[in-house]
Amino acid sequence: MIDLRLRKVLESDNTKMVLDLNLQFKKGQFITLYGESGSGKTSTLRLISGLMKPDSGHLSIGQQCWFDEDKKINLAPSKRKIGFVFQDYALFPNMTVKENLFFALSDKTDQGTIEELVQMMDLGDLQNRKPESLSGGQKQRVALARALVGKPEILLLDEPLSALDYKMRYKLQKYILKIHQRYKLTTILVSHDIGEIIKLSDLVFELENGKIARQGSPAELFGLGSTSAKFQFTGEIIQIESEDVLVIVTLLVGNDLVKVVCDKEEAKQFYLGDKVLVGSKAFNPIIKKI
């Protein structure tokens, strides 16, 4: 069981936000922190990793206490069994992929781990290349591999896929899920891509202004399973147009724009930018071979 009760006052420029967290979850789960920019998601990861020191509170992983203000415990980041994947990958530019991975090796772990990770993340051909010559997706795989060299128990991912295009995201999501299952990690992902969250997570915590506003399974939080419709996606309203006696709503679903017909009475509740669930019965769509 992971018990996180931390408090930190964050000051940046002229704004102040109080991060007041209270979350508990089981080890081995895939957790997502979801929320708007500035709601405290990255800061939460930094508190868990030890890169940022909380003002007060308690953080324990199972029987191990990593932080306790009263008991004056504050375990150094490297002693916490954590792998951290930064948003900008943070690969060392002066080292090749292989050297980046070896850098993460402390004396205790063996080289076999690196071999295995190279295989798993399909980095074989890239080993002697420097980060600047790699694509975004390749850099991300290296960052993931490097985070795993130390055999962490917890993997922290700070919006790792936000800079990638949809196709790359999809591929990387599969890698992330693969390593989560293979190494039996507790993974904490920061993301605001609902599709991604639904696909990967067991549990979602929604942060708002530094506090947990809601928590639950992705289905509970994002309204899936609220209808019998089998053909379901989440999308964002891009445009609402009146045509004839009905309304055509254009949605961004993943990387695709789709148009859906609506009754004008119904359309009154929709605004541009709304996140919606679009669903249809399995009986409706046509399938055609390409």
Partner 1 sequence: MNWIPIILTLKLSLITTLILFVLALPLAYWLSVTSSKIKAIVETLVSMPLVLPPTVLGFYLLLAFSPQNTFGAWLDQWLGLKFVFTFHGLVLASCLYSLPFMVHPLQSGLSSLPSSITEAAIMHGKSKFTILRKVLLPNIKPSVLTALVLTFAHTMGEFGVVLMIGGNISGKTKVASIAVYDEVEALNYGMANQYSLILIGLSFLTLLMVYLFNGGFFKQYLK
Partner 2 sequence: MNQFEGNIVQIHSCGQLSIVTVELLDRNKVQSIIIDTSDTAPYLVLDTPVFVLFKETEVAISPEENPKISLQNRFRGKITAIEKGELLVRLSIETAAGNLVSMISKTALTDLDLFINDWVTALVKLNEITLSPK
- Contact residues for partner 2, defined by CB under 8 A: 226-230, 244-246, 261-266, 279, 281-284
Beta-bridge mates of residue 252? 236, 257
Q: Using the 8-state DSSP alphabet, how is residue 226 labeled?
A: S
Binding piece for partner 1, criterion CB under 8 A, among 13-21, 73-81, 182-190, 199-207 = 73-81
Q: Give the pairing type, strands 256-263 and 2-12.
A: unpaired
Q: Using the 8-state DSSP alphabet, how is residue 79 labeled?
A: G
Q: Report the residue number, 66 or 84, with the smaller CB distance to partner 1.
A: 84
Min separation Cβ 232 and partner 2, Å: 11
Q: Report the residue number, 37 or 94, with the smaller CB distance to partner 1.
A: 94
Residue 227 burial (CB count, 10 A): 12
Min separation Cβ 2 and partner 2, Å: 28
**What is the footprint of partner 1 within residues 82-121 (CB under 8 A)?**
82-84, 86-88, 90-94, 103-104, 106
Q: Report the residue number, 159 or 206, with the smaller CB distance to partner 1.
A: 159
**What is the footprint of partner 1 within residues 39-58 (CB under 8 A)?**
49, 51
Q: Report the residue number, 174 or 268, with the smaller CB distance to partner 2.
A: 268
Distances (CA, A) of 85 to 91, 112, 141, 198: 10, 21, 10, 20
- d(C-alpha 191, C-alpha 176), whole Å: 13
Which entry of partner 2, partner 1, none binds 166, CB below 5 to 8 A by partner kind?
none
The answer to whether residue 166 forms part of the interface with partner 1 (CB under 8 A) is: no
Min separation Cβ 230 and partner 2, Å: 6
CB 279, CB 229: distance < 8 Å: yes
Q: Report the residue number, 94 or 228, with the smaller CB distance to partner 1.
A: 94
* Three-state helix/strand/coil letters over 105-155: CCCCCCHHHHHHHHHHCCCHHHCCCCHHHCCHHHHHHHHHHHHHHCCCCEE
